[in-house]
Amino acid sequence: MSAVDRLSRRSRLTAVAITALALVLLEPSVARAEPGVPLPPNGLIKDTGTGDVAAADRDFAVKVRLAGLWEIPAGEMAQEKSDDPRIKAIGRDIAAQHVVLDKMVRDAARKLTIKLPDKPNADQQSWLAEMRDAEGEEFDQIYIDRLRAAHGKIFPAIATIRTSTRNDTIRKLAQRANQFVMTHLTLLESSNLVDYAALPTAPPPAPAAAAAAGTGGGAGPALSAVGQTTSASTVNLPLVGGLLAVIVGLAFFVGRSLLTDPRRRRRRYRSRY
């Protein structure tokens, strides 16, 4: 193999290696198999406790703590009481991830002086009691139903805190909680036991939202007018541009013809004498 070929081959291999490294750095989830929690650039979010802590932030931390207090023992029961290897694996993964999330929320609470509960609330205790009294397939269905419903309720709450909090520690906690909950929803649904028809339906759009979408009064006509203006501009601009181009081209052609006309040059020459 010649030196040129070796250099070319080395360049190609280097390019492939750089591309693979870039993919891993930009999309870390590519480098880990499910059900690992994907990691967006959490390092870009500070965790210094800086920023005001609102009542909603404190309530969010309490809810994260409560989730761990009942989902960890529920996951342990899934490993002991279920006969389905898939349910056992789901319970193991969710419980293990809640151990990590629980440590995060306790660290945040110490930093921000937030008082956290030390036992599940009444509803969560009743769900655990249901699971303790069930066996086999009945247990599997209760476990999936209760956890899927709970995750469906906390998911939008996490988004609200992530986008509104002024405190960087709560912001980072919300981002990580969102990653964990998204993973848990996927794990629970992989059981094929989720009764989607029994899940609460999304509320209908508010009247203001409907008007903004052009389905009613209010902002509808205004938005329609804007759409018409935009559409007209889109149609007319090329036509106007084309006409201008034609005009400029004709002017250039006529001007060039006049300047290069030999008779005009002779007349100009004769006018000097």
Assess whether pLDDT exceeds 80 at residue 208: no
Q: Specify the pLDDT at position 141.
A: 96
**Sign of the dihedral through C-alpha 48, 54, 59, 63:** negative
pLDDT above 70 coverage of the chain, percent: 60
pLDDT of res. 244: 60
CA quadruple 66, 70, 73, 75: dihedral, nearest 10: -100
Q: Average pLDDT in the 200-222 region?
A: 64
Q: Outline where DSSP puts E strands in 20-112.
A: none
Q: Where are the domains of the chain?
A: 1-31, 43-199, 220-270
Report how far residue 119's alpha carbon sits from residue 14's, in angstroms, rounded to the nearest whole number.
55
CATH topology of domain 43-199: Ferritin (1.20.1260)
pLDDT at 207: 85
Across the chain, what does the average pLDDT equal? Answer: 76
Distance CA 269, CA 273 (A): 8
Task: Give the pLDDT of residue 5.
Answer: 58
Q: Could you tell me which residue, 29 or 114, shows the higher pLDDT?
A: 114
Condensed to tens digits (0 to 9), the pLDDT of residues 141-174 reads 999 999 999 999 999 999 999 999 999 999 999 9
Mean pLDDT to the nearest integer, 136-143: 96
Q: Is the pLDDT of residue 66 over 90?
A: yes
Contacts of 6 (CB under 8 A, 6+ apart): none
Assessment of whether the complete model's pTM goes beyond 0.95: no
Two tokens, residue 258: 């006049």
Q: What is the pLDDT of residues 168-190, one digit of tens each?
A: 999 999 999 999 999 999 999 99
pLDDT of residue 145: 95
Quick check: 74 and 57 in contact, CB under 8 A? no
Reading the block at residue 140, the tokens are 């599997």
- Chain centroid to Cα 36, Å, comes to 17
